[in-house]
């Protein structure tokens, strides 16, 4: 087992340094709740892009240590051991849900072997993890879409009926198995009771009774 070299993690020197980081500033923009403001929408989209760019230069090998320093510099909490948590500031903050989602996808992207560059966007990263659809599945989807509504409904009804039949069969098999197990236990109890050894009789008493009869 090889020991990975642990890089030194340092907390910001100045109390206000974290406010100058791109991660902190982007997260502040994402805190706004006004979803109708078009200008703010554009700012939030840019904020998500800026968060991704924070991780530029990180690789699958150095991500674990490098991202910790990024979070500490921006004064955000992250999953860490007691030693590292001791370096958190008292006013340490949490990322917004949106920022957390962006960071999680970026992490997955990097750990999969990709590197972030100026052209990397959230949509681009998300597309990398889209499930592939086979030609057969595409053909079936095409056929289903071409069906009329009543035929689609019929197909779905048949599918539901089939699923119910499968579920009922499994339930019946389970109950039959349980019944057989209970019967086996009861039979074992009955056999044990019948075959239990009877107490020995008093032979002397039996012999005396025989003499008296003669």
At 84-128, the pLDDT tens digits run 788 888 888 899 999 999 999 999 999 999 999 999 999 999 999
Which DSSP letter does residue 176 get? H
Looking at residue 158, what is its pLDDT?
A: 92
Phi, psi at 139, each rounded to 5°: -65, -40
How many other C-beta atoms are found inside a 10 Å radius of the C-beta of residue 141?
11
Start-end of H helices in 115-148: 122-128, 135-146
Looking at residue 141, what is its pLDDT?
A: 87
Q: What is the residue whose two structure tokens read 């020991």?
A: 3
| Residues 2-41 pLDDT 10s | 444 444 555 555 567 888 899 999 998 888 876 667 888 8
Q: What is the residue whose two structure tokens read 């889209």?
A: 130
Gap between the Cα atoms of 184 and 81, Å rounded = 53
Strand partners of residue 93: 76
Looking at residue 50, what is its pLDDT?
A: 95
Token digits of residue 169? 């069969």
| First and final C-alpha spacing in the chain | 93
For the cut 60, the answer to whether the pLDDT of residue 210 exceeds it is no
Strand partners of residue 76: 93
For the cut 90, the answer to whether the pLDDT of residue 188 exceeds it is no
């Amino acid at each position: 087992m090889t020991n990975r070299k642990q890089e030194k993690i340092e907390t910001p020197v100045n109390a206000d340094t974290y406010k100058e980081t791109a991660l902190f500033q982007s997260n502040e923009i994402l805190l706004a709740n006004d979803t109708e403001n078009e200008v703010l929408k554009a700012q939030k989209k840019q904020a998500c892009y800026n968060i991704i760019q924070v991780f530029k230069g990180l690789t699958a090998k150095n991500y674990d240590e490098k991202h910790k320093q990024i979070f500490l510099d921006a004064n955000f909490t992250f999953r860490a051991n007691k030693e590292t948590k001791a370096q958190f500031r008292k006013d340490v903050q949490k990322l917004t849900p949106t920022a957390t989602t962006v960071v999680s996808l970026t992490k997955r992207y990097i750990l999969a072997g990709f590197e972030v560059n100026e052209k990397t966007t959230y949509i681009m990263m998300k597309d990398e993890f889209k499930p592939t659809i086979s030609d057969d599945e595409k053909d079936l989807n095409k056929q289903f879409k071409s069906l009329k509504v009543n035929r689609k409904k019929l197909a779905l009804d048949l599918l539901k009926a089939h699923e119910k039949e499968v579920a009922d069969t499994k339930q019946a098999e389970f109950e039959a198995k349980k019944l057989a197990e209970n019967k086996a236990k009861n039979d074992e109890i009955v056999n044990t009771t019948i075959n239990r050894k009877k107490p020995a009789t008093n032979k002397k008493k039996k012999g005396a009774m025989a003499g008296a009869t003669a």
